[in-house]
Amino acid sequence: MVGDLSAADAIVAPSATPQQELAAARRALAAKQSQEREMTAAFGRIVAEEEEPTVQAARAARSEVRQQIGDLAALIHELEQQVADAYDREQRTNARAVMTAAEQFDVSLTMLLAAMKSVDAAGRAMYETANKHRDARATALLPLTWDTGTNVAGFVRETLERVLQQRAPWAALQPSLVDAARSRSNLIDWEN
């Protein structure tokens, strides 16, 4: 049983977090409240059976425990505020990290959309030029466009769909659009 307020400190390691300190203080308070209930239950018997000095000593001891309960309640309130403040600081740090990452995402998305537009325009130009020249390879060039007009997705869309289906795409090796364009659309035929 915890004998005094220092016992609440004794059950917490020096490197304890505010949450651990709060939990220890709550345990100490529960122990003190239990001790006070036991003392109150015994106090009636002491008043009825014991001499005045013993009654006064029991009253003083119970008063001391009640004071410790009040002190622990104040400590708990202070620790709850510290925990709330620590949580707020941590969430502010997390919010800054989220906002920085979101800003990076927005910039990257703009760049990605521009690249998608460029791939689509270049792929469409290759496809249309191949069609004008009745090149049998034109069909292989169609997936270089965003909207193929068929049930077959273009390489960019196919790549993005694969990425979006992954649980943690940043942790996986991703397919190369360059490799797909070279091998599946026969761009090797026109590369220098």
Q: Which domain holds residue 36?
A: 5-93
Last residue of one domain, picked from the residues 72, 93, 114: 93
The lowest-confidence range among 6-10, 46-50, 157-161 is: 6-10
Assess whether 89 and 154 both reside in one domain: no
Residue 99 inside a domain? The answer is no
**Residue 125, pLDDT above cutoff 70:** yes
Q: Mapping DSSP to helix (H, G, I), strand (E, B) and coil, where does residue 2 land?
A: coil
This prediction has a pTM of 0.65
Residue 100 inside a domain? The answer is no
Last residue of one domain, picked from the residues 93, 118, 135: 93
Residue 101 inside a domain? The answer is no
Per-residue confidence band for 186, with pLDDT thresholds at 50, 70 and 90: confident
Which alpha helices (DSSP H) does the chain contain, by range?
5-10, 18-49, 52-132, 138-141, 155-165, 177-184
pLDDT in tens, 18-43: 899 999 999 999 999 999 999 999 99
Look at residue 153 in the predicted model and tell me its pLDDT: 86
Number of domains in the chain: 2
Residue 125 inside a domain? The answer is yes
Residues 1-4: contacts with CB under 8 Å, at least 24 apart: 1/31, 1/34, 1/35, 2/27, 2/28, 2/31, 2/32, 4/68
